[in-house]
A and B are shown apart, each in its own frame.
Chain A
């Protein structure tokens, strides 16, 4: 598995067209004196079946970048090309609809696709099973714990049947054990469905645990600092020495970035 990953890690590889391509993308919020350059000339590609982790300090523009890719907002400059791929997104919060049951929340993703009601219910149950929430379909989102809500959110994103999955710190608020379990689940699903994933986190070990490539962003403005290919065999463990070593390297680079700002 190591060799093809190394190739994918190079964003300029010929042949395979990237599923997501950002070309000199900038985003400015506000106008005049109060304007803020959130992203500055960011170029980045995600290739078919590639798992890319975006790493950066809080406020460096990671969520902004995902919003742009999802088409929720328009870039101030530059181009974003998703080649007509269907895009699913998991937000930093679970973003579930409180008036719907857990199952109906997942079904919302199928409703748009025009799936008939009977089939919707059956499919939603399948997706809930994938995230190990079978039997919780009739509950309301607020009756679940934070981690379970995030899993519902994941099930809903998976139900969209997209080939690009954007995830914004999906496991940021979870305890270490639940997070480890969800990492394994996500990795399994990503492989089974050959998804292209753009995964935002500020947890370096999480990025190394999951990514084929870790992209480091700087703060104010958000710029791509460096790409780190992760050439470790899967499945990886967050507490393994190999992961820890690479995480230390990346953390040091990240620290340099932060210090550069301190001056």
Chain B
């Protein structure tokens, strides 16, 4: 039975290398500056528009100047406040609370999410409860929190944790549920079982969903914190929420608005951090969306 000869093995390597070089091609890289500008100009435009509307409302004279200050006055007060140490201390106190509360939420959310996603009975018992907790407005927790902890920082932290944890746990649970079956099968064939499968396949696979949960958890934590700082005023400890409260008491419109701007900027800044993390994950996993 005559059969044609296959080419010798060492030429295979060359063939394959040649084909691979063809397939890969050079990756294009955008310049950093144009990338930043590309993302910046819509923001600049939006901010400009908001300032314009704000100024227009002030000019309309619907409210007197001491009730609704204009942008120029507000930014003047903001600049002034940002030069004082007390204001920075207030920001520091708020940020410390946010970070502590969020960190504890992440820990609890991880443990709860891992247990609930893993154990059937727990899922049946607590699955819908966690989602239910997510819809509970955090302000509704404060009466109970104040009863339990008094007018203390613990009361605030308690509510921040209750606000953030369900989202974080749910993010993890959803990630586990939506692990692509093909990866589970691959892990199984490779010999991973139970806990090992969970640790090496399921947990990493749920990272994108977990990250989305973190982002949402942060938003809830930040809202709960602001509500808490307005409701629970602690003596001798200035915070951003407390500033809002007293600015209103003193009818200091420019001060009130300047603190609101600070709160907004911090919220956006942290959100950008999460977005950056999400983008880098998408890039590494090859999950970028089609550009249209």
Which A residues are within 8 Å of any B CB, using their own CB?
2, 67, 70-72, 87-89, 91, 93, 95-100, 108-109, 111-113, 132-133, 136, 140-145, 147-148, 156, 160, 177-178, 181, 184-185, 188, 231-237, 239-240, 242-243
Cβ–Cβ contact A132 & B1, under 8 A? no
When distances are taken between beta carbons in the complex, the residues of chain B under 8 Å from A132 are 12-13, 16-17, 20
Contacts known (A132-B12, A188-B9); A97 close to B286, Cβ less than 8 A = no
Bound Cα distance from A156 to B183, whole angstroms? 13
Q: List 5 A-B contacts (CB under 8 A).
A: A70-B188, A72-B188, A108-B200, A112-B192, A140-B285
When distances are taken between beta carbons in the complex, the residues of chain B under 8 Å from A91 are 182, 185-186
When distances are taken between beta carbons in the complex, the residues of chain B under 8 Å from A113 are 191
Among B197-228, those with CB < 8 Å from A are 200-201, 204-205, 207
Among B1-38, those with CB < 8 Å from A are 1-7, 9, 12-13, 15-17, 19-20, 23-24
Cβ–Cβ contact A145 & B9, under 8 A? no
Bound Cα distance from A147 to B19, whole angstroms? 10
Cβ–Cβ contact A142 & B200, under 8 A? no
Contacts known (A97-B204, A140-B284, A188-B9); A178 close to B196, Cβ less than 8 A = no
Bound Cα distance from A136 to B203, whole angstroms? 25
Among B259-292, those with CB < 8 Å from A are 284-287
Specify which of A72, A142, A147 is in contact with B23 (CB 8 Å cutoff). A147
Q: Which 5 A-B pairs have the closest CB atoms?
A: A142-B286, A145-B23, A112-B191, A235-B6, A95-B186
Specify which of B5, B17, B183, B191 is in contact with A97 (CB 8 Å cutoff). B183
When distances are taken between beta carbons in the complex, the residues of chain B under 8 Å from A178 are 16, 19
Cβ–Cβ contact A145 & B24, under 8 A? yes
B189 within 8 A of A: yes
Contacts known (A140-B285, A145-B24); A99 close to B204, Cβ less than 8 A = yes
When distances are taken between beta carbons in the complex, the residues of chain B under 8 Å from A240 are 3-4
Bound Cα distance from A232 to B13, whole angstroms? 26
When distances are taken between beta carbons in the complex, the residues of chain B under 8 Å from A160 are 190-191
When distances are taken between beta carbons in the complex, the residues of chain A under 8 Å from B2 are 242
Closest to B7 in A: A184
When distances are taken between beta carbons in the complex, the residues of chain A under 8 Å from B286 are 98, 140-143
Contacts known (A239-B4, A242-B3); A145 close to B186, Cβ less than 8 A = no
Bound Cα distance from A147 to B42, whole angstroms? 41
Measured CB to CB, the closest approach of chain B to A173, in angstroms, equals 13
Cβ–Cβ contact A145 & B20, under 8 A? yes
Cβ–Cβ contact A89 & B15, under 8 A? no
When distances are taken between beta carbons in the complex, the residues of chain A under 8 Å from B285 are 98-99, 140, 142
Given contacts A99-B204, A113-B191, 14 further A-B pairs with CB under 8 A are A71-B188, A91-B186, A96-B186, A132-B16, A140-B284, A145-B23, A148-B23, A160-B190, A181-B16, A184-B12, A234-B3, A237-B6, A240-B3, A242-B1
Measured CB to CB, the closest approach of chain B to A111, in angstroms, equals 7
Measured CB to CB, the closest approach of chain B to A197, in angstroms, equals 15
Bound Cα distance from A240 to B1, whole angstroms? 11
Bound Cα distance from A111 to B186, whole angstroms? 14
Cβ–Cβ contact B190 & A112, under 8 A? yes
Cβ–Cβ contact A184 & B6, under 8 A? yes
Cβ–Cβ contact B1 & A231, under 8 A? yes
When distances are taken between beta carbons in the complex, the residues of chain A under 8 Å from B9 are 184, 188
When distances are taken between beta carbons in the complex, the residues of chain B under 8 Å from A98 are 285-287
Measured CB to CB, the closest approach of chain A to B288, in angstroms, equals 9
Specify which of B12, B182, B189, B284 is in contact with A87 (CB 8 Å cutoff). B189
Cβ–Cβ contact B3 & A95, under 8 A? no
When distances are taken between beta carbons in the complex, the residues of chain B under 8 Å from A89 are 189
Cβ–Cβ contact B15 & A237, under 8 A? no
Measured CB to CB, the closest approach of chain B to A135, in angstroms, equals 9
Cβ–Cβ contact A181 & B15, under 8 A? yes
